[in-house]
Amino acid sequence: MRFLEVLKKIGEQPIQVIEASRYIPLDLSESNYELNAIDVSSAEKLGDYVNSVISKGQAEVAYGGYLEIRNIYKRSIHFNNQAESERNIHLGVDLWCAAETPIYAPLDGRVHSFNNNTNYGDYGPTIILEHHFNGTVFYTLYGHLSLASINSLKVGTVFKQNEAIATLGDASVNGDYPPHLHFQIIKDLGDFKGDYPGVCNKKDLEFYKENCPNPELLLSIKG
């Protein structure tokens, strides 16, 4: 069974990583001209914008971002190393809500690895789970977590579907962003541990589109 078909099969059951009944799409792409009037390098000001979208939509969580081309990464050399082309294409889905929100395992899995990725604009505390489904192995990544989420965590820890695995961090630990979860599916993790690119450049896009399909295939997100 092809990987996308596996994900669609899994996604036939209700799956959430954040418990919510009302989601609203959020556009953080370079084509959203509302962002031109906002200092997106400020976690506080970007957070005010995100919260206004959630409030106006009478929602609990704002979501989106898969393959968005974003300007918010221009603030950090982590994404703008002169030795390579600019990385500004987002490879996961972001779920924006309050710090300390519980994060749940979307399906049974074990902790493959975890790390505190402390570069400015990076994930901060990060967990990667390994999953097995009908002979297929794949991984899910959870970025921008709280420090408490990894302080006593151990590689190999098993989580059952819908079991709490972490909580969201705030701007002081999550790479200096408004609180949100970066959720990403990874087919082949390679040699990475506790980290994997969540943003790519145009040159490498086709590889990452294949290796990191749209997480919305898996998640039950209702507007």
Domain that holds residue 40: 3-217
Mean pLDDT per segment of 10 residues, for the chain of length 223 residues? 86 91 94 92 94 96 96 72 75 97 97 95 96 94 98 97 97 95 98 96 95 93 71
- For 209, phi then psi, to 5°, come to -60, -35
Number of domains the chain contains: 1
> What pLDDT sits at residue 130?
98
Does residue 212 fall inside a structural domain? Answer: yes
3-state secondary structure 125-194: EEEEEEEEECCEEEEEEEECECCHHHHCCCCCCEECCCCEEEEECCCCCCCCCCCEEEEEEECCCCCCCC
Q: Is residue 112 part of a domain?
A: yes
Give the tokens for residue 80.
């703008």
197 located within any domain: yes
Can you say whether the dihedral through the CA atoms of 30, 35, 40, 46 is positive or negative?
A: negative
Residue 37 DSSP symbol: G
Query: Quick check: 97 and 180 in contact, CB under 8 A?
Result: yes
Residue 138 lies in a domain: yes
* CATH number where 39 lies: 2.70.70.10
Q: Is residue 16 part of a domain?
A: yes
pTM for the complete prediction?
A: 0.95
42 assigned to some structural domain? yes
Does residue 222 lie within any of the structural domains? no
Q: How many C-beta atoms lie closer than 10 Å to residue 200's C-beta?
A: 22
- Phi, psi dihedral angles at 74 (to 5 degrees): -65, -20
Evaluate whether residue 223 is within a structural domain. Answer: no
